[in-house]
A = this chain, B = another copy of it.
């Protein structure tokens, strides 16, 4: 079973690495990072590069497609190479998935029309623009389409998907190995929990889907 994780310039690293760390440990899964070109791909902060080992052309029939987000997804929404690859890969994939604004790329490729999906909380209204029923849920399954909310939510999605693919025990084993027993020191990880003025500030500064 092949998992293809898409990389593009200015991707948000944790969008990709969170679910990678979970799903790559599912027995029988072979993981490949794929991009328009092979080699290092710079993430959104500029301080880190993740390596694409294969080009889109080299990964023809992945079983699982995972599309991360990040501020770099905006230009990709008009990239025919990426969108065509997503459409083709989706015709044979078992699971087509995204984290954060990666769902906007799936939507731009026409794959989420009429479906329920989620995205980063600041990007939900852009998803609606693609005739998607945007929910604020952290992980949304709609048939074989699985979307996760912002950045860190890809870990929760990875575990949920690992359970569907390999069973509860395999997923629990990976959760234990990665010691995923979260204890955030603050409770500000969602717009309905964070201080209202912080939420308002982010909303005021978001004119286009940034994350």
Interface stretch (choices A56-64, A85-93, A156-164): A156-164
Question: Does the CB pair B47–A49 fall under 8 Å?
Answer: no
* A138 to B189 alpha-carbon distance, docked (Å): 19
Looking at the assembled complex, report how far the CB atom of A167 sits from the nearest CB atom of chain B, in whole angstroms: 11
Interface residues of A in 140-178 (CB under 8 A from B): 149-153, 155-156, 159-160, 163, 168-169, 171-173, 175-178
Neighbouring B residues of A194 by C-beta, 8 Å: 172, 175-176
Neighbouring B residues of A14 by C-beta, 8 Å: 17-18, 20-21, 178
Question: Does the CB pair A33–B47 fall under 8 Å?
Answer: yes
- Copy tally for this chain in the complex stands at 2
Q: Beta-carbon contacts of A25-55 to B below 8 Å, as 1s and 0s?
A: 1000011110000001000010111110100
Question: Does the CB pair A175–B189 fall under 8 Å?
Answer: yes
Neighbouring B residues of A186 by C-beta, 8 Å: 159, 163, 168, 171-172, 175
Interface size class of A (residues with CB under 8 A): 35 or more
8 more A-B residue pairs beyond the given contacts A48-B50, A49-B51, A120-B179, with a C-beta to C-beta distance below 8 A: A12-B21, A17-B48, A31-B45, A150-B177, A153-B179, A159-B185, A179-B190, A181-B193
Closest 8 CB pairs of A and B: A150-B179, A181-B189, A172-B188, A182-B182, A49-B51, A31-B47, A14-B21, A151-B178
